[in-house]
Amino acid sequence: MRTITKKPEVLAPAGTLEKLKTAFVYGADAVYIGGNQYGLRSRAGNFSYDEMREGVAFANQYNGKVYVAANMVTHEGDAEGAGDFFKTLRDIGIHAVIVSDPALIEICAMEAPGLPIHLSTQASATNYETLNFWKEEGLERVVLAREVGMDEIKEIRQNTDVEIEAFIHGAMCISYSGRCTLSNHMSNRDANRGGCSQSCRWKYDLFEMPQPEQHNSLLEGDPVEAFSMSAVDMTMIRHIPDLVENGVDSLKIEGRMKSIHYVSTVSNVYRQAIDAYCADPDNYEFKQEWEDELWKVAQRELATGFYYGMPTENEQLFGERRKIPAYNFIGQVLDYDEESQIATIQQRNNFGVGDEVEFYGPGFTHLYQKIESLWDAEGNPIERAPRAMMTVKMKVDAPVKALDMMRKLK
């Protein structure tokens, strides 16, 4: 009989305060966010100090943790003010910082003692000797490089007691541990200082250029995407037992720039799978509905990355894409009146009378129904809710709760 000694942490992305709160409501144990400095997502909704304080207070209600990514590669002058930044995070109550640059690690350790440091995946940790080195430097957790396989994780776990964090869902970078310079060359935006323009996601062709101003495609017809440097996304939903049994302490979901639809759905699914396995590992069964749910927010095809061998051409995006269901996130429940069975909805995308919709909520609850009638905030009947963020009311077939989400098939 197998016994789970430690349930792994579900670590969700939170690009904004709204996403942070959504992640915890939908089952995350921890979130990672960015501050206004030293991170790799300059276009994400990075947090001010006041927002961090609010986020930490909200996390504490769920016994959750908030980590701050400060994982940029510093050039001369980039580290100025880092000591004060880390001290402020410590005093706010941030539970750890995620860092890759040794200079920032040293500054944090010297200037903000007591603030735990986690090594970022950008540092390319791929073996237990590396983890033990960083343990000697005072780090308590290492985010493994995404190129590490499951057999390697097993060996790492057997040879170190450093906490292991590993990505289990989301976008994959085409470059080793995300250390890419395509964006620098093609758009003059430094990927390792927060400005990646995702050049690997662009569409490419093969051209003949007899003259500098001429661009003649050498491919016949109009290919969907003949050449690619873009990997499919990762999902490990079918392999939770391997991750738990091989000692991964934190299961990390990628996507600080994704929507609350994505954050809620993915957090919800992995919460269900991890709880189910840890509650009864001997009788655990994978549920196809978990994977089906993930496809509702999938942007690309899905695979297991490097966990079970080297990715092949089947893990790259080019040519005809596999058809997948595409759902629109259309609303969030603000309130529900039991007596009248009326739900108050904040609109997030156009919907109206006659639409078939799905409500889902924490704990993997689902409700499917057709919208029979709709009212605006003043109680006037309307046919559609076309304005962004407008408040509407509708009768629902079964109880829903505040913060439940609403979506429909495109």
41 has a pLDDT exceeding 60: no
Global pTM value: 0.92
Could you tell me which residues are beta bridge partners of residue 216? Answer: 208
Residue whose structure tokens are 């994780």: 153
Contacts of residue 67, defined as CB under 8 A and 6 or more positions apart, other chains included, come to: 11, 30, 31, 32, 33, 94, 95, 96, 97, 98, 118
Q: What is the pLDDT of residue 223?
A: 58
Angle, to 10 degrees, between the axis of helix 102-111 and the axis of helix 82-92?
Answer: 60
Quickly state the pLDDT bin for 358 (edges 50, 70, 90). very high
Angle, to 10 degrees, between the axis of helix 288-295 and the axis of helix 260-279?
Answer: 170
pLDDT in tens, 91-148: 999 999 999 999 999 999 999 999 999 999 999 999 999 999 999 999 999 999 999 9
Q: Are 283 and 42 in contact (CB under 8 A)?
A: no
44 has a pLDDT exceeding 70: no
205 has a pLDDT exceeding 80: no
Q: CA-CA-CA-CA torsion for 59, 93, 30, 389, nearest 10 degrees?
A: 50
Q: What is the pLDDT of residue 410?
A: 85
Q: Cα separation of 57 and 77, whole Å? A: 33
What secondary structure does DSSP assign to 170-226, as a single string?
A: E---SSGGG---HHHHHHS--GGGT----GGGS-B--EE-SSTT--EE-SSS--S-S
Q: Cα separation of 120 and 379, whole Å? A: 51
Q: What is the pLDDT of residue 203?
A: 78
Run of H or E including 169: strand 163-170
Q: What is the pLDDT of residue 224?
A: 63
Q: Are 74 and 103 in contact (CB under 8 A)?
A: yes
pLDDT in tens, 21-37: 999 999 999 999 998 87
Please, is 33 exposed, middle or buried when counting C-beta atoms within 10 Å of its C-beta (0-12, 13-18, 19+)? Answer: buried
Angle, to 10 degrees, between the axis of helix 49-61 and the axis of helix 82-92?
Answer: 30
Quickly state the pLDDT bin for 79 (edges 50, 70, 90). confident
Q: Just give the CATH number of 327-409.
A: 2.40.30.10
* Extents of the domains making up the chain: 9-176+230-315, 327-409
376 has a pLDDT exceeding 90: yes
Q: What is the pLDDT of residue 249?
A: 98
Contacts of residue 252, defined as CB under 8 A and 6 or more positions apart, other chains included, come to: 11, 32, 143, 165, 166, 167, 168
pLDDT in tens, 325-340: 689 999 999 999 999 9
The token pair at 76 is: 């001369």
176 has a pLDDT exceeding 90: no
Tell me 99's DSSP state: E
Fold category of 9-176+230-315 in CATH? TIM Barrel (3.20.20)
Quickly state the pLDDT bin for 193 (edges 50, 70, 90). low
Mean pLDDT of 225-254: 92
Quickly state the pLDDT bin for 85 (edges 50, 70, 90). very high
